[in-house]
Chains A and B, each alone.
Chain A
Amino acid sequence: MGQTTVTHDSHAAHGHDHHEQSFIMKYFFSTDHKIIGLQYMFTGMFMAIVGGYFAYAFRMQLAFPGMEVPLYGTVGPGQYNMLITNHGAIMIFWVAMPVLIAAFGNILIPLMIGCDDMVFPRLNRLSYQIFLLSVVVLFMSFFVQGGGFGGAWTSYPPLSAVAEYNLTDWGASLWLIAVALEFVAFLIGGINFVTTSMNARAPGMRMTDIPIVVWMIVLASIMFMASVGPLIAGSVMLLMDQRVGTTFFVPSGGGDPVLWQHLFWFFGHPEVYVVLLPALGIVAEIMTTFARKKLFGYKTILYTTFATGGLAFVVWAHHQFIAGIDPRMANIFLVTTLLISIPIAEILFSYVATLYGGSIEFRTPMLWALGFLVTFLLGGVTGIYLGSSALDIYFHDSYFVIAHFHSTFFPIAIIGMFAGLYHWYPKMFGRMMDETLGKIHFWGTIIPFNGIFLPLFLVGMAGQHRRIYNFQHFPDLATADLQGIRVFATVSLVTMLLFQFVFAYNFFVSMFKGEKAPANPWKSNTLEWTVPSPPPHGNFAELPTVYRGPYEYSVPGNKEDYWPQNMPDRN
């Protein structure tokens, strides 16, 4: 079976003439990087709907405690915990990771570096299959006796380790297995991103001719690999605690629960950058294209990203300031945390400098890219408050934290995803999306988003704790003004969710009815725009040679304001 698939899928070196594949072979067992990318994309988008639906259910419960939530039902305390746990886990592990790294990585890397596929196509398919299995196991965890796991996406022991405490015996274990499988899927996927970019580059493409988004995905994969290892070991230990009865993390048996926190955040903090970097890369491609300007400081951005990647490994304990760590240790992590804001700020400044003086076209992808910059800035700035250990004593586990990290994650996972989708949609599906609907969708997302989370900063500062299913039980928090803010946030959320139907309509209708896309609708330089939309199996009819970097826009002496990487002469 495996063998036949390979023959069906393989093609002559130059990509033409291959016989017809059946629908199933083509879309379910393909080893073509573009199909695998789309599989990741659609799975991730489906999971975004699930994660958003969970957010809808628990936000309704917070705004109108005890109500029968339309399309969901009542949300009791156990249900609430299950919903937030899986909302968080899904959004990070099953939306941000598959869409930003796996989907865009798969679709873009071979096209952008000018080759016909990944260097390990069958491992690539295996990666998606394991990922899909992790989704299945996650869904199974919702339906076993006791229900889905509710111990938060951080899964701190002893709560997560002992069934008598979390009351979700198999729910907790299946959840953990699902997360571990997802880790394995991305370890296997990462191998392709890294080795393909290293070895399969088109002739003439130097390291500094590689588009930034490819660099970002490669660096993210390396960071993921280096941070997730210890947590995989930790997951095995936690699973042993759950299923065998060992006490690695259970103090009553001599274990140490704080060790899990270290393992989790040694992964968890770099993970933030793992999803941030691809989003930054996507935004860089879009900004240069629609500002018709060279990326400001390509090498600076690259080195700064290396610095960020290194520093990201030494900040993790800022999540544990109140977990009983030594205050002198806390000081060290305070310093590293504030340090890491420097390279990140530097990257953002380079982006602003890229825009400066450009002839900016406000097309839909550009709006999303700009939206990313503005929103992410807010998230980044509030992080500086949380990084100072003294302030964090008050803010820890409050809605200030929730609002902070959603102001970083939402731009990354959702805005970054939409930016990339609107930008590469013509390449992926061979049709253009509707601009007006795209703009409506943009404003209908970005305004309500701030309507949700700006108020949540306020309730956080008022002392509202996270992971509480009903604030009416706390006299100080049950006041009418606080409740009013909560209702406002929930109404904003529902508004934002409704605007997603505009996107769904645009996305699916354009796929069949949209205007046919030319090869290079945005007049962009990178190699993926030199092949037909959508690219045929094997991508390039003639494998390209590269003559220059990816951001040569508005070069004096050229007739056109763009200069494709594979064009030997003046344009």
Chain B
Amino acid sequence: MSMQGPLATSRSATGIPTGRLGVWWLLASEIFIFGGLIACYILYRLNNPWWGGEAVFTKVPAGAFNTFVLLTSSLFIVLAHDAAEKKDFDRAFKFIWYTIGGGGVFLLVKYYEYSSKLFADDPELLKTPLTNTYWSFYYTATGLHALHVIGGMVIMALISFDLRKGFNPHRVELIGLYWHFVDIVWIFLFPLLYIAK
């Protein structure tokens, strides 16, 4: 079905594509949301030096592995974008699904981390959102981030099929911007929650 949107959608007085402006707006709002959360965490952390003793129970190798996974998936989405620009849609499709795969591995590792804390038999290792405020932050921040990972994966899956038919290739760039953002949030969360002791 051919549909024609309003003419407004095709104008570009600034020279910047409207879709990109839209995603920038979305990311800016997200920066303020995550920024607020992270600022709260840092303020609490400064007032509660003993939280370092809690951070010991995070699994740094798992977190480091996940950082690597996310960074690699970001590379894949760049390659997908590159392929889409060159109108090689099959290749772009493939790299989008590699990116989604990266998100999947990330979530599996998260699942392992969460379950080993939430369902630990050893009371020493049992850490839930109610254990103390450090763990409340840990679950809230990483949980919100994981939701963003899932959201990104769903959107990528949706656009990948259109893309294979050659529709809306510019969307690869837009989701790529978003995916880099999700990546960067993790790069803040990892040292703040896992490494700082």
Contacts and interface: CB of A to CB of B under 8 A. Distances in A.
Given A191-B25, A225-B25, A236-B140, A7 B36 contact: no
Interface stretch (B3-11, B167-175, B187-195): B3-11
A225 B21 contact: no
Most buried by A among B21, B22, B25, B36: B36
A191 B22 CA distance: 6
A237 B143 CA distance: 12
A11 B3 CA distance: 9
B50 to A, nearest CB: 10
Contacts of A233: 33-34, 36-37, 40
A190 B25 contact: yes
A25 to B, nearest CB: 15
B130 A7 contact: no
Interface stretch (A109-117, A458-466, A499-507): A109-117
Interface in A167-192: 187, 190-191
B48 interface: yes
A200 B8 contact: yes
A359 to B, nearest CB: 35
A538 B13 CA distance: 19
Interface residues of B, number: 42
Contact of A543 (B7, B16, B31, B43): B7
B133 A247 contact: yes
A6 interface: yes
B137 to A, nearest CB: 8
B contact patch SS: helix
A244 B130 contact: yes
A84 interface: no
Given A10-B4, A121-B6, A199-B12, A248 B36 contact: no
A199 B140 contact: no
A254 B132 contact: yes
Nearest to B12: A199
A200 B34 CA distance: 30
A236 B40 CA distance: 12
A246 B133 contact: yes
A229 B35 contact: yes
A471 B137 CA distance: 43
A195 B25 contact: yes
A225 B37 CA distance: 15
Contacts, number: 146
Contact of B8 (A115, A227, A254): A115
A259 interface: yes
A478 B197 CA distance: 58
Nearest to A14: B7
Interface string A239-260: 0100011111000011110010
A229 B144 CA distance: 14
Interface of B: 1, 3-9, 11-14, 16, 18, 21-22, 25-26, 28-37, 39-40, 43-44, 47-48, 129-130, 132-133, 136-137, 140, 144
28 contacts: A7-B3, A11-B4, A13-B4, A110-B8, A115-B7, A116-B8, A117-B7, A119-B22, A121-B6, A191-B22, A194-B25, A195-B18, A198-B21, A199-B12, A199-B14, A201-B13, A229-B30, A229-B33, A229-B36, A233-B34, A237-B40, A237-B140, A244-B129, A246-B130, A248-B133, A248-B137, A263-B36, A543-B7
Given A119-B11, A199-B16, 9 more contacts: A3-B1, A7-B3, A10-B3, A121-B9, A194-B21, A195-B21, A233-B40, A240-B136, A254-B48
Interface of A: 3, 6-7, 10-13, 110, 115-121, 123, 187, 190-191, 194-196, 198-201, 205, 225-234, 236-237, 240, 244-248, 253-256, 259, 263, 538, 543
